[in-house]
Structure 1
Amino acid sequence: MSKLIYVMDPLCGWCYGNSNNTQKLYDKYKNVLDFEILPAGMWTGENTRKQSKQMAQFIKKHDPQVQQTTGTAFGKDYFDSIENENIILDSEVPSRAIVAIKKLTASQAVPFAIEVQKARYLHGKDLNEDNTYLGICENLKLDKEEFLKTFHSENIKKETQKTFALAQQYTSSYPTLLAEKEGNTYVLEQGYAPLGDIIKQIETLF
């Protein structure tokens, strides 16, 4: 089966910068190709981070460059939120939310993942809070109770770890967009590339 595979992390600024292109690619090809999203677990376990003044300074310098390159806006609420030194940055939580939606309503996994990124990078929401995801579920008309039950289940926690392992088999760099065709894997994008360039590659392949 031919498909596109998007390896990303919800706490990766460049992945958020790439989100507009991801949405456009999904809308263009969702009825033609399978489109699988794989959160990669960039900051998990011993690698979780805590927001700090040093991190905030780095982000304030780095993320406007992402915005300039990609055209994707970072919100004022986000830049305010990075000053909160109590927030833990753990990729497992938002990744698990995405994996839960993949299980419940696979067709909404990409839109949901993009909304998760917007929640942090545009609206300054804490991705450790259930309410952040419940708001997204409401916007996308997804069953909130069903989501919560699945999100906190042991099965989904295990499935999330398996997803991280699968993502690592493809790449250790995010964002990465790949295509699979007839048993072969092709790298279409690693980092950020203009939308037109990616579409040309996809059209050439398929």
Structure 2
Amino acid sequence: MTHATLHYIADPLCGWCYGAAPLVRAARDVAGLDVAFHGGGMMAGPNAQPVTPQLRNYVMPHDHRIAALTGQPFGDAYFDGLLRDDTAVFDSAPPTAAALAAEALAGRGLDMFAALQVAHYVDGKRVADRDVQIDVAVDLGLDREAFAKALDAQAADVLMRHFRESRAWLARVGGSGFPTFALEIGGHIERLEPGRYLGQPDAWRDALRERLLSAQTSSSTQGDAGTLPQCGPDGCAL
């Protein structure tokens, strides 16, 4: 069978990535398709941002639009709590490290990433805080001590290398923002257009299945999957 991977380049503090979360869940239901997470580091390092009125006024209209387009819930604890907490800092590095720790520990990186998105956008929690990350991991069924150890093993230099590799993937597939999805089948890679599928995870799942079936049929009849056509530019910008 032709090997297929959906590369998912995203950031835990990207509202459009949260809007696309149902598409990630749907993709994971597709038999024969692996989903690989690449953390983009949108607000990591010098790009970490304190919560200010300016930040709130910038992100809120986008979040309302994301909710309207996708049906993804945003909680009052986020809008009226976290976004009004001027002591909070939005930093992508710690939650990304938590997702990588869950992956290293139990192959649960995507589950952790999704759970942290909910903790941020629905529950209004500070997902950069270690205690919050550990509690989320425990809620996923991971052992508290084992996860804490795996989290502490995520060295800063390793995390920064992960961000650089993710940005290299972004450049490789011609992506311009987060989330970017790229489908790799038999060594051939195409960037996908998720925008028209936002709020339609079943249609996205069916489209991915058709892609895999088409590639498998082509491989069995021609011996090579060929280069799949480009679908168009990304609709989800930074």
TM-score where L is the length of structure 1: 0.90
Relative to structure 1, the CA distance from residue 20 to residue 202 in structure 2 (aligned partners, 3 Å threshold; closer, same or farther) is closer
The equivalent position to 1:5 in structure 2, one of 4, 7, 13, is 7
Residue of 181, 185, 201 corresponding to 1:177: 181
Please give the secondary structure, in 2, of the residue aligned with 1:161: helix
User: What is the match of residue 33 of structure 1?
Assistant: 33
| Amino-acid identity (%) | 26
Q: Report deviation, 1:200.
A: 4.1
2:192 to 183, 188, 194: 188
With over 3 angstroms needed to count, the CA separation of the structure-2 counterparts of 1:58 and 1:174, relative to structure 1, is same
Residue deviations 1:42-83 (CA, integer Å, cap 9, x gap): 011111111101111222222111100111010000012110
Shift of 1:141: 0.7
1:44 alignment counterpart: 44
Paired amino acid for 1:100: A
Partner of 2:84: 83
SS of residue in 2 equivalent to 1:82: helix
Task: Kindly provide the amino acid, as one letter, of the partner of residue 20 in structure 2.
Answer: N
- Indicate the RMSD between aligned Cα atoms, in angstroms: 1.8
Matched, 1:115 2:119: no
Contact 2:22 2:201 in 1 (8 A): no
Q: CA deviation at 1:196?
A: 4.3
The TM-score normalised by the length of structure 2 is 0.79
**Corresponding position of 2:21:** 19
* Matches of 1:161 and 1:181, distance apart in 2: 28
Q: Which has the larger radius of gyration?
A: 2
Counterpart in 1 of 2:164? 165
Return the alpha-carbon distance in structure 2 between the equivalents of residues 147 and 9 of structure 1: 21
Report the equivalent of 1:104.
Answer: 105
- Assess if the C-alpha contact under 8 Å between 1:9 and 1:95 holds in 2: yes
Question: How many angstroms does 1:198 deviate by?
Answer: 2.9
In the aligned structure 2, how far is the partner of 1:129 from the partner of 1:82?
A: 16
Unaligned runs of 5+ residues in structure 1 are none
Deviations 1:25-44 (A, max 9, x none): 22x12x52221111110011
How many pairs were matched up? 202
